[in-house]
Structure 1
Amino acid sequence: MPRSRLTLLIVSLLATAVAGVIAGGAGASQAAPAAANAIAFTSERGGPLQIFIRQGGRPIAIAAPKHGMSVAPDWSPNGSKLALALSDASGQDFDIGVVPADGGPIRRITSGPAWDEEPSWSPDGRWIAFASNRTGNFELYVVRPDGTGLRQLTRNGCDDTQPDWSPDGKSLVYASRVNGKPRIWRMDADGANRRPLAKVLGSAPAWSPDGRTVAFQSESDEAAHIMLMDADGRNLRQLTDEIGNQTSPAWSPDGQWVAYISDPFGSYDVLAVRPDGTGRRALTADVWSDDTPAFRPTT
């Protein structure tokens, strides 16, 4: 997830002690792409940040901890579960959790006084990659969905965040803040062979289902936009050019759409566009701020 914006939203909600009743969005969204596929996302919707799922109708709240927040969902490969980051009551510590997609209790699979965040499920379902600041700065780790096998992948002394698996499970892309400037990097699934993908500043990488393209959000002092590049870092091109910021790209399972977050209606909503830049439409359009969309896999 784009820590710069979602973290600010978390801090804002904590500072103002926002609480309320979960409410449906006001205003109708346009026809959704990939209508057969649900989309999960983080939203405030009048209360603490938590995970919602929308499939053609009103968003449904799931993964609501008794205290704290749940954010940054990622689907298991078979679409039966969601990995997420959930906080304690203070909002100062986040753990990785797993919850059934149709609702049910959340199982915490990491623990400790740290921010464990941005989970990403491996294509074979055996591992969940995530970022954690348990050693001081953010590094990347993997853990099994049952909480065993915790292993650190990076030890770089700079913030490594936002991991995303290649479709074949052999590589990860992620954002690394070398010298404080975020860029997209790639490494093998065991943490070896680290290398930058592009010289431009960027974060929140997302691999296309066919493995050929990486979407990411540009980073500049002016505005963030969604960019595309080939998986080897070549053929860089801009996908969105709207007013304001566009962040948190996520591919539909068929690769025909890229969902992202934008603020054309005054609040942050989930939009989608085809990879050639056509067909832009809103998947949510209401007064609430949404973030970190994730399409349910096709099974």
Structure 2
Amino acid sequence: MRSLICFLFLLPFSMLAQDVIYFSSSSNSRGRDLYAMTSKKNSHDKLTYQLGSGHYPHFNSPKLSPDGTTLVFQSDPDGHDRYTIWTMKTDGSSLKKITQREGMYPNWSPDGKTIIFSGRRNGIWEILTIPASGGTEQLLTKNYQAGTKPKWGATCSYHPNGKSIIYSYIREKVLYSYNFEDGKSTQLSSNGSYTHPIYAKDGRIAVNRKIDESYHLVIIENGEETVIAKNVISYSAPDWYSNESKLLFVGMVNGNQELFTIDLKTREETQLTKNNDFDAMPVAY
């Protein structure tokens, strides 16, 4: 395994007092790192670094723990696209590899004790859980036994009560729920246009949905859908601010992917980044 180290930095007090956003970004074509910024600051503080030659790891799909202290993400320091699940503190310290086998699209349980993710087991994409500190995996889906073969992994989000999840396979783009009590999945949408569903603490769902030829950011509440922002980047998940007054999303500006927030009351959009880099997968606290 090539050496992977993390640079430790301390967020200044002025940054701690503001909204902090974590995201994946790249200023070149060799890979991606995780960064932190405040919603009122256009400069990036780099969280991840690596040493070695011939490969630049990708640090993707960060998710913030419920207590705001820890990031879980996927990275491939062992080889290009050989993703496993990692955690680290939000100051960049305490980097830890959580899964020894393939893992992608991680997310947290509401109590922060469990990580849910996708991985290929027996050559088939499944949804699994693992303790946040590492340990024994638990298989949720039984696609291998059922003879089902999803074309790619799923992104998942726990219901705030912790009793179920909502998920969507990246290439199928159909919404499902999984109930932990009976171990059964239920199809929620009739067509393949939904990707990256994320629960709010009050049970609302934010999701990217393809409508006509473009993807829009949609909120689902009590079965009703409302378009919140148009022309979003489909493969970058939205995220709720902790007070649920705003959503984060990614849009395209002059050929560049940029981070945005939208105020759910006024529908005012604010562009957070303005550069030529790849900026995506933002999460907020």
TM-score if structure 1 supplies the norm length? 0.78
Aligned position for 2:216: 225
1:126 paired with 2:146, answer no
CA deviation map 1:36-57 (0-9, x unaligned) = 2211111113352111111233
Higher normalized strand content (fraction of residues): 2
Taking a change above 3 Å as real, the CA distance of residues 53 and 191 of structure 1, as seen in their structure-2 partners, is farther
Change (3 A) 1:265 1:35: farther
Segments ≥4 residues shifted beyond 6 Å: none
Tell me how large the CA RMSD over aligned residues is: 2.3
- Of 34, 37, 49, the match for 1:54: 37
Indicate whether 1:269 and 2:258 are aligned.
yes
By how many angstroms is 1:121 displaced?
Answer: 1.0
1:222 counterpart letter in structure 2: E
- Tell me how far apart the structure 2 counterparts of residues 65 and 166 of structure 1 sit (CA, whole Å): 35
Tell me the equivalent position of 1:155. Answer: 142
Partner of 1:117: 104
**What SS does the corresponding residue of 2:224 show, helix, strand or coil?**
coil
In the TM superposition, 1:21-32 aligns within 5 A as none
Taking structure 1 as reference, are residues 193 and 277 closer, same or farther at Cα in structure 2, changes over 3 Å only? farther
CA distance in 2, matches of 1:290, 1:190: 38
Q: Is the 8 A contact 1:63 1:105 kept in 2?
A: no
Q: Which residue of 271, 276, 283 corresponds with 1:282?
A: 271
State the one-letter code of the partner of 1:250.
Answer: D
Does residue 172 (structure 1) correspond to residue 165 (structure 2)? The answer is yes
Partner of 1:3: none
- Residue identity in the other structure for 1:182: K
Number of the residue aligned with 2:7: none
Tell me which residue corresponds to 1:37. 19
For 1:144, the equivalent position in structure 2 comes to 131
Shift of 1:105: 4.3
Question: Deviation digits for residues 1-53 of structure 1, max 9, x if unmatched?
Answer: xxxxxxxxxxxxxxxxxxxxxxxxxxxxxxxxx97221111111335211111
State how far apart, in whole Å, the 1-side matches of 2:217 and 2:118 are: 22
1:272 CA displacement: 1.1
Alignment check: 8 A CA contact 2:196 2:207 kept: yes
Structure 1 gaps of 5+ residues are 1-33
Contact 1:251 1:295 in 2 (8 A): yes
Taking structure 2 as the reference length, what is the TM-score of the superposition? Answer: 0.82
> 1:221 Cα shift?
7.3
Question: What corresponds to 1:203 in structure 2?
Answer: 195
Q: State the identity as a percent.
A: 19
- Whether the 8 Å contact between 1:239 and 1:276 is mirrored in structure 2 is no
Distance 1:45 1:122 in 2: 32
Equivalent position SS for 1:92: coil
Query: Given the superposition, is the C-alpha separation of residues 241 and 221 from structure 1 closer, same or farther in structure 2, using an over 3 Å criterion?
Result: closer
Q: Provide structure 2 residue ranges, at least 5 long, that are not aligned to the other structure.
A: 1-15
Aligned partner of 1:102 in structure 2 is 91
Post-superposition CA distance 1:219-273 (Å, at most 9, x none): 367221111112x5x112222224x645421111111111111102321111111
Number of equivalent positions? 255
Partner of 2:246: 257
Instruction: Name 2:61's counterpart in structure 1.
Output: 72
Q: 1:40 to 1:71 in 2, by over 3 A?
A: same
Q: Which of 54, 70, 74 does residue 81 from structure 1 map onto?
A: 70
Distance 2:182 2:36 in 1: 32
